[in-house]
Every structure is written in C-alpha cells, then in structure tokens.
Amino acid sequence: MTELHRDLPKRAWLRIYRVTGAITLISVALSVVFTNMIMEIFSAGINVQGLAVSILMPLVLGGPMIFVLMLRQEQLRHANGQLEHLATTDWLTACLNRGAFTGAVTRYLDRHPSTGGALLIVDADDFKGVNDRFGHDAGDAALRLIAGAIRQAVRSSDPVGRLGGEEFGVFLADSDVAAADHVAERIRRSVSAIDFAPDGMPCPLSVSIGGATYETRAPFGELYRLADRHLYEAKNTGRDRVAIMQAA
C-alpha cells in the first residue's frame, strides 16, 4: 500500500482532497442544522459552545475518516489500473499484446461495420540474423526501436500491437487503400531510418508490411489472413516492401 500511496497520480490526489472537503463541509452543515434543531427543542437554541461542538466534531472525526476511505479507494483504483495495463501490454515493446490488440480491433469492427479501415502486419526483416550476430539483448533493443518507430508513424488513436516475435499489427480506422499505403510507407521509412549499432557495429533495420483494407464489415480473422498473405508477398519480392489490397 505504501508503494501505491507514493505512485498515485496527481489527479487521484485532487479527487481525494475534493471529495473529502465536500463531504466534510456537508457533514458540518448538517451537524449545525441538527444541533440547532435539538437545542431549540430542549433549550433556548444553539449557543456558542454548541455551535463549536457541532463544527469541530465532523472536522476532527469525520474529515480524517473520509480522507482515509478515499485514499484506500484511489489506491484500489490505481492498483486495478496497473493490473489492467499489465494484462493488456507487451512487456518488451509497451505495445498492446496480441489478445488486447485483437480484442480492440474486433470491438471496433463490431461497432463500426460500415466505416472502412485497414489492418497492417509489420514484420522485421531477417531478425534472426540480428539475434545470431549480436545476441538476444540487442534483438530486444531492436524490437523496442521498431515499436517506437511504428507508434511515431501512426496516429495516437491507432492501435499498435505486438502479435508475436518480431511481428506487429496496426489498425487504421477510416482508411482506404491509398491512405493505408501512405501510412505503411511512412512506417517502412521510419524503421529504415533507425540508427542501430550494437557494440558500435552498424546494423540496418527494415520491415516488410502486408495490409488489407475493407469498406463494409469484415471479420478480424479474414482481414488478418489477407494481410498475412500480402506480407508474404512483400517478403518474397525482396523485403523492405509494402503490399496492400482491399478485401472483397
């Protein structure tokens, strides 16, 4: 709990202070009203001592209790958020993991069946060679660089996921073939521009990209199958290429 206490974001503390203050003030107001009603019945009305007690009691007893309850609630909210992040994020690249990416795209396809979009599969070229030459630590570093280049080349709202190994997925909402091809080329160029030199030895990085676009609702599995097919076309025609086609 101590770690969560330190890690709470600023907005959580603001929420704690705001709710604690509001409930405490309401408690003070109600205490004054009820105390005055009771004093009116049993005496000539509220006096200075009664007013002081009706104000101090909620402040001294209620305020700290409300603060502690709100703090525990925000700690629980923060812990749940961290667990959700861990459950949906790839530990190495900070992209969505495969399950989270597939789920996000599937939900979008179900909710927006007629808006059109594109699925891109981005695969690092000859990645086994990077691991064999420089080791898996350098390979992990290369994957992080590639993931960063992909995220920089797309919109912040575009889901990016690591599908496994050196393969990434990108979903582009409201995109036709031309728009998807433009984004894919931007990703390809961004990766090619990475300055990767483990142990001071230059190691160029490149990706091949396959894509499938749709105009009316298409199942995720069908889009993935078509994008994967075009990825193999890009690989087989020389790598460091883009191949995209619209789904039927």
The answer to whether the CB of 214 falls within 8 A of the CB of 247 is yes
List alpha helices for 89-219, DSSP H: 98-111, 127-134, 136-153, 177-192
The H or E element spanning position 121 is: strand 117-124
**Integer Cα distance of 174 and 82 in angstroms:** 31
Catalytic residue among 3, 84, 166, 167: 166
Strand order in the sheet with 167-173: 160-164, 167-173, 117-124, 207-214, 242-246
Report the 10 Å Cβ neighbour count for 237. Answer: 10
Q: Is 85 exposed, middle or buried (0-12, 13-18, 19+ CB in 10 A)?
A: exposed
Q: Does 3 qualify as catalytic in the annotation?
A: no
**Integer Cα distance of 111 and 84 in angstroms:** 22
Which residues are tagged catalytic? 166
